[in-house]
Structure 1
Amino acid sequence: MSSDQPLAADKVESHLPETQAPPPTTETAPQRRALATDKPPEGPSEPYPERDEPVVEPLSTAATYFYTISYLIVFSIFGTLARLGLQALTFYPGAPVVTGVVWANVGGSLIMGFLLEDKNSFREEWGKPRKPHNNIIPQDFDAAEESKRHKSVKKTIPLYIGLTTGFCGSFTSFSSFIRDIFLTLANDLPDPSSSSIASRNGGYSFMALLAVLLTTVSLSLVALIFGSHCALALDRFRLPPTLPFRLTRRIIDPLIAFLAWGCWLGSVFLAIWPPHENWRGRAIFAIIFAPLGCLLRFYVSLALNARLPSFPLGTFTVNVLGTIILAMCYDLQRVDYIGASVLVSCQVLQGVMDGFCGCATTVSTWVAELNGLAKRLHAYVYGTVSVGVALGFFVIISGSLKWTVGFVDPVCG
């Protein structure tokens, strides 16, 4: 098997960058006329698009950007709350896997794989109907080229950007994954089955590090591929149903915009006024910082991912930067008179880690890029460098405090 083959046999196609800029102000659908034969072709036929007349849809660039940002805000909030909730549900006595964020990474990767291969939800694209017409196949139709074009165009739709970059990217967290690797190495990973952590030697800590690393990466990759298989299987039944363009543009987009800015502003007011119970403080401060991290990842990925096709520089940058910020907040939270004894300071730092760092870093996009890189060698280099650099920074920042002065238990738990 040559080194030019993809990482997995059933490759999930992932074009870089993950999202593209919205389309220009006015777009005219290309005119395509079907050359009909006297009878339909033999065998089952797919519903190919027929565009006898050009369809003109005025698209406001400003409105499209506004809706895109709104989707990113609201889905980053939902993704953060879903990640925190799933971590709480999977942290129970006797849990076979004690790193709760692994299940959020698996779930987000599965949804990402489904959305990447889904051909039905956004079939209307920018108001251009894609419906069968008497099952007649145009003679100039190229199914592979049409599928590639559709995958590229749907990445400019605000709702798709919100689901992939917003929800999946915020549901998964690369920085929390690296934090758990460090905690296993430092023999400080919380165990729901015991109030104290048993001491172990360095060899066992290294084995624990490998366990967290291999479990998260392998399960996330498998979930990504399984999600793509689910989308391909449902495509035979024309599922999920196509979202009407007029419905999304006239009803869903304005509604999401209202909810996004309203929820974000409401969370700010809730954070200002006490009381700050443990659960309330952790959730509120997390969703305040979540949209900031998501928007940072969105713009950095747009600016840098396309520069090196063999190494997604944008995703790498935000993953490493978010991990560095999380390591610094983790240290400050465990220092006297900062986060270890002041409740609000501890909760703010936890909100930065769960919200900003959790949304600025992503595992779902990372594994999609690993699986989508053209050469297997590029995927191994990208994955190894991402984990190695991020973990190296975490060891330098947090390890220097852990193995010298030591951590103090934070007041917010």
Structure 2
Amino acid sequence: MSLQEKSSAVVIEEGYRGTNDTEPRRSVSNDRTSNATSSLRRRFLSLSHVQPSQIDEDNESEFVSEAGDIGDRALHSNRHSESGSICLFPSEDVQLQTYGLWGRDPVTSKAISPVTPLPEEIISPLSTGVIISEDKKPENTTRLPKLLEYGSCMTHLAVFGILGVLTRYLLQKLFGPGVVGVTSDKTILYLDLPSNMVGSLLMGWFGVVFKVDLSYVSDYLVIGLTTGYLGSLTTFSGWNQKMLELSVERHWVFALLGFLIGLYLAAYSIIFGVETAKGFRQILERNSVCGITSSRRRWRVDSFKRHLVALAVLLLMLSSLRSISGILLREEFNSSSSEAQLWLGCIVGPFGVWIRWLLARLNGRGLGKTGLLKWVPFGTLIANVSAACVVAALSTVKKAHNLFVHVNTTTCDIVATGIQFGFLGCLSTVSAFIAEFNAMRESKYPWRAYAYAMATICTSFGLGILIYCVPVWTRAYK
């Protein structure tokens, strides 16, 4: 690697800090007094001498793959900022969307090349609010011990994961045959379609546009809201299983249309979420910029005491949710009610969220020491495919319950469905999947988005046919 390439790599790795061979690094005290406009100028001007061929492959692939989540890798990497707080998302202080080196113009929504300085109207104080916040995190932010960091992340994920399970259930009931009647188990408009659309839309709001603002309050809040709540609100395994159930009845065209319509609606939902959130943010900035800044400072969790208070509140919420779920599960289980599936799902759901968060550390790493295929989010891919396969296996078990003479079929159905809905529904996700899909689609290589979607869907569906459809066909399960 040449000296110029090494210099470019250092500039990119440090998050566009605005240093190059011709401009000396600014001291910490000067950085504290510089405003957001000059900081943004330095970051983009520092890349004006970097050739696209040196940065468009490896680094863009890594950042695009990390658009959904990077899991616990942030807790034991060099992603801590100088202030001591955790930087859980790559380049989030520079770009509106974490789409690697190719950001989006918040005004025109066109791609901005990193080798091209930003126009004056984009660098203006009003429009930079979408890209970078004017108030930086305080320098005295407390860095938590590693064990407490993990505990806080796990607690946030568990609480928000249970809330995501409850919301998904309510949306199923609302849009299902019992109330509105839009979705059904027998049509291409599967039961989890509304929750996947709502979760993808909210991902555009809180996982893209307002993610930086939420991180100023608490990085753990961002993890809980995006990975925990939105990841559990949406489910890929349920989507895949409904298409398998259509296929087992030989409705192949409906299954194909179900995948295409589901992917299109989820992809459009996140685009709609990003656009509406950007418009709402512009309204807020024009009316009360100072109010937003003061509100963020007031609610910022930036001290050890505040971290402990937040953790205590969440632990109290978690114990309450699990206690209520356990009591209701016992009552509904004894009466063999279908509601028992929900409460069992709430109890086992957090385990699925935790595993998915840990798997997300594989995103942006690639294969082997060379980092082959860095653009593929292997963590999300493994979580979705594995959850879809286990859901298919449990569905096969439920179909074959007549073979188990000494097993209570009602109990077997409740346990299997509760694990499917809770644990496996939280292990798989559409919100992170569609965020990664959208990031790839708007990068320099849009074909990667469709290759990634095809790999996820075809692998899950193909293995599901072997696990679920073939046994049902060959053994004539009812």
Query: Does 2:308 align with 1:245?
Result: no
Change (3 A) 1:369 1:226: same
The Cα shift of 1:354 comes to 0.4
Matched, 1:84 2:169: yes
1:15 aligns with 2:67: yes
Task: Tell me, yes or no, if structure 1 residue 67 matches structure 2 residue 122.
Answer: no
Q: Which deviates further from its counterpart, 112-121 or 88-97?
A: 88-97
Question: 1:177: how far off?
Answer: 0.6
* Range that drifts further, 111-120 or 164-173: 111-120
Among candidates 57, 80, 94, match of residue 142 of structure 2: 57
CA distance in structure 2 between the aligned counterparts of 1:350 and 1:268, rounded to whole angstroms = 16
How far apart are residue 325 of structure 1 and its match? 0.6
CA pair 404-68 structure 1, distance change in 2 beyond 3 A: same
Alpha-carbon distance in 2 for matches of 1:332, 1:52 = 52
- The correspondence for 2:399, drawn from 334, 337, 340, is 334
Indicate the residue corresponding to 2:346 in structure 1. 287
Conserved? CA contact 1:182–1:394, under 8 Å: yes
Offset at residue 72 of structure 1 (A): 0.7
Aligned pair partner of 1:311 in 376, 396, 405: 376
Could you say which structure has the higher helix fraction? 2
Identify if the C-alpha distance between structure 1 residues 244 and 210 changes in structure 2 by more than 3 Å, giving closer, same or farther. same
Residue 139 of structure 1 is matched in structure 2 by none
CA shift for structure 1 position 262: 4.1
Letter aligned with residue 299 of structure 2 = P
Name which of 250, 262, 279 aligns with 1:233.
279
Pair 1:347 & 2:414 matched: yes
Post-superposition offset of 1:333: 1.2
**C-alpha displacement of 1:59:** 2.5
Matched, 1:105 2:158: no
Q: Which amino acid aligns with 1:285?
A: L
2:105 is matched with none
Correspondence 1:164-313 to 2 at 5 A = 164-187=226-249, 202=250, 205-236=251-282, 237-238=284-285, 242=296, 244-246=299-301, 249=307, 251-264=309-322, 266-268=324-326, 270-271=328-329, 275-307=334-366, 308-313=373-378
Question: What is the TM-score of this pair, normalised by structure 2?
Answer: 0.64
Counterpart position of 1:140:
none
* 1: CA distance, partners of 2:161 / 2:137: 40
How far apart, in 2, do the equivalents of 1:362 and 1:61 lie?
27
Please tell me the residue identity of whatever aligns with 1:169. G
Name the CA shift for 1:235/1:120 in 2 (closer, same or farther; >3 Å): farther
2:142 aligned counterpart, secondary structure: strand
Mapped contact 2:398–2:416 kept (Cα < 8 A): yes
Q: How far does residue 370 in structure 1 lie from its aligned partner after superposition?
A: 0.7
- Checking the alignment, whether the CA contact within 8 Å between 1:27 and 1:56 is kept in structure 2 is no
Stretch deviating more after TM superposition (302-311 or 42-51): 42-51
**CA distance, structure 2, for counterparts of residue 328 and residue 18 of structure 1:** 29
Q: Distance in 2 between matches of 1:344 and 1:65?
A: 35
Structure 1 residue 271 displacement after superposition = 4.0
Q: Tell me which amino acid in the other structure corresponds to 2:199.
A: G
Give me the TM-score of the superposition, normalised by structure 1.
Answer: 0.73
Q: What are the superposed Cα offsets for residues 353-410 of structure 1, whole Å, 9 maximum, x if unpaired?
A: 10111110011111111111232121111100110010011111111222122333xx
Q: CA deviation at 1:64?
A: 2.2
Q: Which amino acid aligns with 1:245?
A: R
After TM superposition, the structure 1 stretch with the greater mean CA deviation from structure 2, 15-24 or 220-229, is: 15-24
**Equivalent residue number for residue 384 of structure 1:** 454
Structure 1 residue 171 displacement after superposition = 0.6
Counterpart-to-counterpart distance in 2, 1:257 and 1:13: 32
* Structure 2 CA distance for partners of 1:171 and 1:271, relative to 1, 3 Å: same
For 2:124 and 2:268, the matched residues in 1 are separated by 37
Paired position in structure 2 for 1:148 = none
Kindly indicate whether the alpha-carbon contact (under 8 Å) linking 2:211 and 2:222 is maintained by their aligned counterparts in 1: no
Indicate if the aligned counterparts of 1:174 and 1:319 stay in contact, CA closer than 8 A. Answer: yes
Q: Does structure 1 conserve the Cα–Cα contact (< 8 Å) formed by 2:362 and 2:378?
A: no
Q: For the residues of structure 1 that align with 2:465 and 2:138, how far apart are their CA atoms?
A: 61
Q: Greater RCO between the two (CA within 8 Å, min separation 6)?
A: 1
Cα deviation, residue 232, structure 1:
1.3
2:474 is matched with which residue: 404, 407, 411? 404
Counterpart AA for 1:279: S
Distance in 1, Cα, partners of 2:125 & 2:435: 35
Structure 1 match to 2:181 = 95
The answer as to 2:431 corresponding to 1:368 is: no
Which string of whole-angstrom CA distances, capped at 9 and with x for unpartnered residues, describes residues 170-199 of structure 1?
Answer: 111101111111122223xxxxxxxxxxxx
- The alignment status of 1:393 with 2:463, answered yes or no, reads yes
Range with greater deviation from structure 2 (228-237 or 290-299): 228-237
Pick aligned residue for 1:122 from 185, 189, 214: 214
How many residues align? The count is 343
Distance change (3 Å), C-alpha of 1:53 and 1:303:
closer
Residue 106 (structure 2) aligns with: none
Cross-structure match for 1:29: 83
Identity percentage of aligned residues? 22
Contact (CA 8 Å) 1:264, 1:287: kept in 2 or not?
A: yes
Q: Aligned equivalents of 1:214 and 1:50: distance in 2? A: 43
Instruction: Give the 3 Å change call, closer, same or farther, for CA 269–186 of structure 1 in structure 2.
Output: same
State how far apart, in whole Å, the 1-side matches of 2:68 and 2:434 are.
13
**Match for 2:387: what amino acid?**
G
Distance, in Å, in 2 between the alignment partners of 1:23 and 1:390 is 32
What letter matches 1:280 in structure 2? E
Higher deviation after alignment, 351-360 or 21-30: 21-30
Separation in 1, partners of 2:220, 2:477: 43
8 A Cα contact 2:328 2:340, kept in partner: no
1:77 and 1:337, CA in 2 relative to 1: closer, same or farther beyond 3 A? farther
